[in-house]
Structure 1
Amino acid sequence: MTGTSPLGENASVKRAIIDIGSNTVRLVVYNGPLRAPVVILNEKVSAKLGKDLGKNGLLSAKSMQTALAALARFSAMLEMLGIDDVDCVATAASRDAANGPDFLEAVRRLGLSPRLLTGEEEARASATGVIAAFPGAKGIVGDLGGGSLELVAIDGDVRPGGITLPFGTLRLPELRAGGAVRFAGLVRDGLAKADFSAVTGHPLYIVGGSWRALALQAMHDLDWPLDDPHDFELMPDVALRICRQFEKSKPEKADPRISTSRLASLPDAAALLGQLVERIAPSRIIFSSWGLREGLVFARLDEATRRQNPMLAGVAGFARSAAVDPAHAIKIADWTRDVCRAAPEDEDLRLASTMLALAAMRTEPNLRAEEAMTWALRKRWVGLNARGRAMMAMTVFANSGLTDVPATFARLAGPEDLRTAVGWGLATRLCRRLTGCAEKALRQTALRRADGKLVLSLDEPVQALFNNSGAKDLRHLAEWLGMEGEVASPVPA
């Protein structure tokens, strides 16, 4: 897999991951930008391969039969779809079971080529997935699977010394049966195998279906305005309070998106997370929907593609699907740059917001505000936090002429950030309606700040483009910025 563009234009290769886990066997097919892969097929079967390992050290005949039936379907599905870029991996249950080699041989007879990951490889793959989602992340990654818990330190890259502990969700009920004190001792002794002192006080990034279920329930109980658990954050004191509450029993009013099986494992997952928060003392707890599978995909990318901003690559891919050329959106963002001053770290966000604002124009007028809310707040944009989501949504709103800030946005970003985003949207609106986004018109017009005024310059051939609508848009933007609007010609060299 190769890539060179910061917007991921060169992408779109279907690739598949088959994850033979201790609890579930899953097929995921990705397409779209290499740096921000889009899931086009996600199918899982709860085979519970690791359920009886604690009793006899074997994969049960029933669980193997269930898993092999699912894998036979996956193999046939991939052949029908014509996908030959397939990475099939097996983790803790297959690794720990005495009859694991026999099971994997049966998988090979289905035409698949499973790789048995070591505990360290599993931990590194999960951590790589987190780094892919949170570039430059520093802290500890914890991946809770059915058979094991992987913990590894990260510092922009995966650090050596990760550990695998037998604390998977299928094993937790038995481990907790001895009481809270004994369980706390088991976690303490397990963590003693690794030195995480260098990253104490940094975030704890957590991965795994049971912990995502915990995030969904916490978001439900906190009436959080977003519904994607990816990048949902909890402060340690809040996380501990929630974990202590959930570890006692399942919630009375469960979030409807949580499956029955995940709901059943919620108390155990909460108890384990509570222990980790107490022992590791993180600054924040951050839930990641990217883990092992995304780590495997990311690890195969070339260095140039890895350096792309996943948020920008993802929004660019979405914009293309809405018939918006990201390269053209860059020119519009350049046109508004002098007015839409943003901190260097927000320039990618401003460009992504511009692309989404232009994409919203491709929808029916009566749907645009609703679409903006849905796209910005509910669609998964990896690499975009809650503040960024609110600013993106507000940009799209203002591009449609709406400047009142919805209460939902105000919970996610500060008033100055939202005010800045309104300016981004109003400037995009002025550009779009004045020039029709025509490249010739963009070259022969300019918007700048000069001597405390907002100056719109037009070359003689395009002066006819400026009408009452343009004058209104210029005045609205100037007033928002606390300036006076002015029209001049020609465009400064």
Structure 2
Amino acid sequence: MFESKRITGKSMNDRHAIIDIGSNSVRVVVYGGPPRAPAVLLNEKVTAKLGKAMGETGELSDKAMKSALSALGRYAALLKLMGVTDVETVATAAARDASNGPEFLAAVEALGLSPRLLSGEEEATASAHGVMAAFPGAKGVVADLGGGSLELTEIDGKTARHGITMPFGTLRLEAFRAAGAQKFAARVRKALHAADWSEGAGLPMYLVGGSWRALARYAMAKLDWPLDDPHGWELDTETAIRIFREVTAARIKGGDVPRISASRLASLPDAAALLCVLAEEIKPASLVFSAWGLREGLLYGRMSPTVQAQDPMLAGVTAFAETLDVSAASGTMVADWTAGVCATDAPAKQRLRLAATLLALAAQRIEPNLRMEQAMDWALRKRWIGIGDRERAILAMTAIANAGRTAIPDEYLRLASATELREAVTWGLATRLCRRFSGCLAQPLAHSTLSFDKGKLTLAVEGPARPLYTEGVEKDLRQLATWLEAEPAAKLADAIAAG
């Protein structure tokens, strides 16, 4: 039998699996790497549509159960072959509401799994924990749209409360909308009123679920957005309603939205109609799309308080850099040395600068002709947890400047301010100067300082590091000074004679 365990963060080699038996799909995900920013090692799903016939029969169909059990048998076998023993299996709305749900769960247990049937409130809370894990300090409402139900939960930065579940899953929306737009909207409003839901006005609404993310991809394409990953993307409510109202009556074609399955495309109008009603009733300030939800929330709930308190972005970037032989200590050492021109008192900016430094150093471990483009791709497209598009643009701009280029791409100005991007150029040029001068070695950094005061940028080098100051280093010092509109200066002590 498999079992779930407490996640303490003692080993980055620990692997944890979540099997999610949903109303639409049955999925297994195996996580590894840093506990606070787990990497996906295996992600498989089968669209069994357990909840498809629920509205008509109240039962799980034999066909759907056979499909789900076949997938679950495969998952159990794969996990055994992988040596993964920490497995948590949960079932949600379809198994919860079906009259033959207990019979189905008994068949799941016979496969060697230990399914736990989540209540609607437990499902809502788990999804909210996933959002809290992905967006530390998040406040607002979490809306998790699954195949069989919609969960709403209020989060206040530290806790999740008032979780409710309503029967507005994607498999049911088409039938509900058949009565007409006005009756559909009235039905949703009535359900919110019956649940005594009044939270979320003026705060972000965090959207969890594949149908929401498909809508985000549609909106990103419509707005010609520079990035294509919806995780962390924030859209103001007014613009969202305008775009999604168009979707409610549209016939979306495959070429209209990249990387969306045919089944997902077919459900877009229904999901858009539901989201428009929710946005109009709850009146959130913005919509934030999250790839983390129930499964990551289950993991987060099992983490020790110490692991939960870690910064997920830094945990992820640090673990990634270490795969390219760049240690956290090296990144911190370089960030400390460049602080003379990059210093900031804002903790959020300090963590971002350290991450940018680590990625810049990691880029030096790959082929020269790929470095800048690869580092930009890491910054913009790798799914870092705990940052949004603004921070991604800053990381990418640092990578560009680390390659010696200072021109700011126009599309980056849609993601971050010119001031922030110019600051990122400073970070990149300072990192470039540091690594070119010292090789990122402790001894030369200990015998040198970089300072910026009264319009003068000064590199002071003590004797042991004196031979490292060359024409190439002087060129980098001059480039950074020009960028800062400063006068470059080098204070060079005599080298200590050998022997």
TM range (shorter): over 0.9
Alignment-derived partner of residue 430 in structure 1: 433
Unaligned runs of 5+ in 2: 1-6, 495-499
Q: Write the mapping of 1:366-385 to structure 2, written as runs, cut at 5 A.
A: 366-385=369-388
Contact between 2:128 and 2:160, CA under 8 Å: does it hold in 1? no
Matched, 1:454 2:457: yes
Alignment-derived partner of residue 345 in structure 1: 348
Deviation at 1:195, TM superposition (A): 4.5
Contact between 1:120 and 1:164, CA under 8 Å: does it hold in 2? yes
RMSD: 1.4
Alignment-derived partner of residue 420 in structure 1: 423
> Which string of whole-angstrom CA distances, capped at 9 and with x for unpartnered residues, describes residues 229-285 of structure 1?
101121111111111111112324422300011011111000000000000000000
Distance in 2, Cα, partners of 1:349 & 1:311: 9
* AA in 2 matched with 1:452: G
* Secondary structure in 1 matching 2:160: coil
* Secondary structure in 2 matching 1:17: strand
Distance in 1, Cα, partners of 2:319 & 2:228: 22
Alignment-derived partner of residue 150 in structure 1: 151
> Which string of whole-angstrom CA distances, capped at 9 and with x for unpartnered residues, describes residues 153-198 of structure 1?
0001333221100000001111111111111111101111344545
* AA in 1 matched with 2:151: E
Q: Write the mapping of 1:74-473 to structure 2, written as runs, cut at 5 A.
A: 74-252=75-253, 253-342=255-344, 343-473=346-476
Contact between 2:200 and 2:283, CA under 8 Å: does it hold in 1? no
Instruction: Name the TM-score, length of structure 2 as normaliser.
Output: 0.95
Distance in 2, Cα, partners of 1:173 & 1:137: 32
Contact between 1:153 and 1:196, CA under 8 Å: does it hold in 2? no
Contact between 1:217 and 1:255, CA under 8 Å: does it hold in 2? yes
Contact between 1:146 and 1:168, CA under 8 Å: does it hold in 2? yes
Deviation at 1:489, TM superposition (A): 5.1
Contact between 1:161 and 1:194, CA under 8 Å: does it hold in 2? no
Alignment-derived partner of residue 4 in structure 2: none
> Which string of whole-angstrom CA distances, capped at 9 and with x for unpartnered residues, describes residues 55-96 of structure 1?
111000110000000000000000000000111000000000
Alignment-derived partner of residue 497 in structure 2: none
Matched, 1:476 2:479: yes
* AA in 2 matched with 1:98: S
Number of residue-to-residue matches in the alignment: 486
* AA in 2 matched with 1:60: S
Distance in 2, Cα, partners of 1:12 & 1:215: 34
Deviation at 1:43, TM superposition (A): 0.4
* AA in 1 matched with 2:209: G
* Secondary structure in 1 matching 2:56: helix
Distance in 2, Cα, partners of 1:358 & 1:372: 10
Deviation at 1:20, TM superposition (A): 0.1
Bigger mean CA offset, 115-124 vs 393-402? 393-402
> Which string of whole-angstrom CA distances, capped at 9 and with x for unpartnered residues, describes residues 125-159 of structure 1?
00000010111111000000000000010001333
Instruction: Name the TM-score, length of structure 1 as normaliser.
Output: 0.96
Identity of aligned residues (%): 57
